[in-house]
């Protein structure tokens, strides 16, 4: 069994890569499973994976490191009940210190498992995070950088968005910052790129050279606490088949309102479901908010799950989302029923195990 652990900041493309990798592996006859993870409890990523026909377990309400038991329970379940050959585990995008809190404990208690840690970075955000200008606060940036440092494989993702000259500049920056790292330039939207990544994880051999991060948990905690997590599960109902239109309006309005206030978006994710169809829509600070809802026909009813991770205070984000919901309901004559809401700031990271090497 191979555990393919993914880390990297919010929105860097972990779920996209896992989804495409699973499909390629399934076509080759492999049995694959996924463990998703989030501080929240209603996850776009889990529902998206399940809708894509991928065997998915989840650790919710805390990160893998702070709920190691739940992580290993899920891992055992995938191994024993489903006899998977390979597990992809996606850790929360604001989490770091995985060598000490996940890899080392796994080696101690489950010695025989082969594990690789791929850390994803958005090719457009990375030069900003490593440079002098800043989008996120220093404490958030601290987490971002620690994540990169502990990578077995550093995956510079979304390279399809770069011009050749930008790619060349990024290449020399990476060589300077991480001279000893195994770096993979990738577009997770492209089959060849995913196959290349899988091959690199398969042949990785330097397991014994992993060194624990030196990490200041107070700064780490401060960084996590600078981000607000908002999860809304709602239903849009329209007697005139305008639910799809209302969803489109809501998504654009939220994007606009958050960006107008200059609040850095870690990730703003939506899963919309109408009848048998569903679509994941995803926005980060670096991405333009162009999108189209692809559910067919006029819809009377639509379910929407929002996972927003934004650098701001909880009250600000809640205010924006509630205002947008009210406006959409008023302008479109749709009824919006809130099925479940949760808004919080992640707590201080307290890993179950921390084994230093």
Pick between residue 24 and residue 161 the one whose CB is nearest to ligand GTP: 161
Q: How far is the CB of 218 from Mg ion (least distance, A)?
A: 27
Total binding residues toward Mg ion, as defined by CB under 5 A: 3
Q: Are 118 and 231 contacting, i.e. CB atoms less than 8 angstroms apart?
A: no
Q: How far is the CB of 12 from ligand GTP (least distance, A)?
A: 4
Q: Report 187-226 residues binding Mg ion (CB under 5 A).
A: none
Pick between residue 304 and residue 325 the one whose CB is nearest to Mg ion: 304
Judged by the rule CB under 6 A, the positions of this chain that interact with ligand GTP are 10-16, 45, 93, 120, 157-158, 160-161, 187-189, 267, 282
Q: How far is the CB of 345 from Mg ion (least distance, A)?
A: 19
Look at residue 143 and give its three-state secondary structure.
helix
Per CB under 5 A, which region of 7-15, 187-195, 243-251, 310-318 contacts Mg ion? 7-15
Per CB under 5 A, which region of 41-49, 111-119, 285-293, 304-312 contacts Mg ion? 41-49
- 187's contact among ligand GTP, Mg ion, none, with CB below 5 to 8 A by partner kind, is ligand GTP
Report how far residue 180's alpha carbon sits from residue 268's, in angstroms, rounded to the nearest whole number: 33
Q: How far is the CB of 16 from ligand GTP (least distance, A)?
A: 3
Q: Are 258 and 251 contacting, i.e. CB atoms less than 8 angstroms apart?
A: no
Pick between residue 255 and residue 282 the one whose CB is nearest to ligand GTP: 282
Q: Are 273 and 234 contacting, i.e. CB atoms less than 8 angstroms apart?
A: no
Q: How far is the CB of 1 from ligand GTP (least distance, A)?
A: 23
Report how far residue 139's alpha carbon sits from residue 333's, in angstroms, rounded to the nearest whole number: 43
Pick between residue 158 and residue 210 the one whose CB is nearest to ligand GTP: 158
Report how far residue 117's alpha carbon sits from residue 218's, in angstroms, rounded to the nearest whole number: 24
Pick between residue 188 and residue 311 the one whose CB is nearest to ligand GTP: 188
Contacts of 214 (CB under 8 A, 6+ apart): none
The token duo for 326 is 């009210």
Contacts of 240 (CB under 8 A, 6+ apart): 298, 333
Q: Considering only CA atoms, which of 40, 152, 131, 42 is closest in space to residue 94?
A: 40
Look at residue 53 and give its three-state secondary structure.
coil
Per CB under 5 A, which region of 43-51, 121-129, 153-161, 305-313 contacts Mg ion? 43-51
Q: How far is the CB of 94 from ligand GTP (least distance, A)?
A: 8
122 near Mg ion (CB under 5 A): no
Per CB under 5 A, which region of 9-17, 22-30, 106-114, 223-231 contacts Mg ion? 9-17
Report how far residue 256's alpha carbon sits from residue 142's, in angstroms, rounded to the nearest whole number: 28
Pick between residue 64 and residue 120 the one whose CB is nearest to ligand GTP: 120
Look at residue 166 and give its three-state secondary structure.
helix
Helix, strand, coil percent values for the chain (each to nearest 5): 40, 25, 35
Q: How far is the CB of 123 from ligand GTP (least distance, A)?
A: 8
Pick between residue 61 and residue 297 the one whose CB is nearest to ligand GTP: 61
231 near Mg ion (CB under 5 A): no
Question: Could you give the residue ranges of the DSSP H alpha helices within the chain?
Answer: 14-27, 44-51, 68-80, 98, 104-109, 126-130, 138-149, 164-177, 191-203, 217-225, 243-260, 314-332
Pick between residue 38 and residue 104 the one whose CB is nearest to Mg ion: 38
Q: How far is the CB of 284 from Mg ion (least distance, A)?
A: 11
Q: Are 194 and 32 contacting, i.e. CB atoms less than 8 angstroms apart?
A: no
42 near Mg ion (CB under 5 A): no
15 near Mg ion (CB under 5 A): yes
45 near Mg ion (CB under 5 A): yes
Reduced 3-state DSSP string for 77-121: HHHHCCCCCEEEEECCCCCCCHHHHHHHHHHHHCCCCEEEEEEEE
Residues making contact with Mg ion (CB under 5 A)? 14-15, 45
């Amino acid at each position: 069994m191979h555990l393919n652990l993914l880390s990297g900041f919010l929105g860097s493309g972990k779920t996209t890569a896992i989804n495409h990798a699973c499909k390629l592996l399934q076509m080759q006859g492999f049995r694959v499973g996924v463990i998703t993870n989030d501080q929240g409890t209603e996850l776009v990523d889990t529902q998206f994976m399940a809708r894509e026909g991928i065997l998915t377990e989840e650790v919710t309400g805390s990160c893998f490191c702070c709920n190691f038991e739940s992580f290993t329970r899920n891992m055992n379940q995938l191994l024993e009940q489903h006899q998977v050959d390979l597990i992809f585990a996606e850790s929360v995008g604001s989490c770091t210190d995985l060598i000490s809190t996940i890899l080392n404990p796994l080696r101690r208690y489950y010695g025989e498992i082969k594990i690789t840690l791929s850390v994803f970075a958005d090719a457009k955000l990375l030069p900003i995070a490593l440079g002098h200008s800043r989008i996120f606060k220093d404490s958030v940036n601290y987490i971002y950088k620690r994540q990169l440092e502990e990578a077995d494989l550093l995956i510079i993702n979304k390279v399809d968005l770069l011009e050749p000259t930008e790619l060349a500049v990024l290449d020399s920056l990476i060589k300077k910052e991480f001279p000893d790292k195994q770096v993979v330039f990738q577009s997770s939207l492209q089959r060849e790129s995913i196959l290349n990544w899988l091959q690199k994880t398969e042949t990785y051999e330097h397991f014994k050279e992993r060194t624990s991060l030196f990490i200041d948990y107070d700064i780490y905690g401060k960084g996590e606490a600078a981000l607000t997590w908002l999860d809304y599960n709602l239903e849009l109902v329209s007697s005139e088949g305008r639910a799809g239109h209302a969803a489109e309006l809501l998504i654009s309005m939220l994007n606009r309102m958050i960006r107008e206030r200059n609040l850095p978006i870690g990730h703003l994710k939506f899963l919309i479901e109408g009848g048998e169809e569903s679509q994941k829509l995803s926005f980060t600070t670096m991405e333009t908010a162009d999108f189209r809802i692809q559910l067919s026909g006029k819809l009377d009813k639509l379910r929407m799950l929002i996972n927003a991770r934004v650098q701001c205070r909880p009250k600000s984000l809640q205010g924006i989302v509630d205002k947008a919901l009210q406006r959409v309901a008023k302008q479109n004559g749709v009824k919006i029923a809130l099925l479940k809401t949760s808004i919080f700031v992640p707590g201080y990271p307290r890993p179950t195990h921390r084994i230093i090497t």
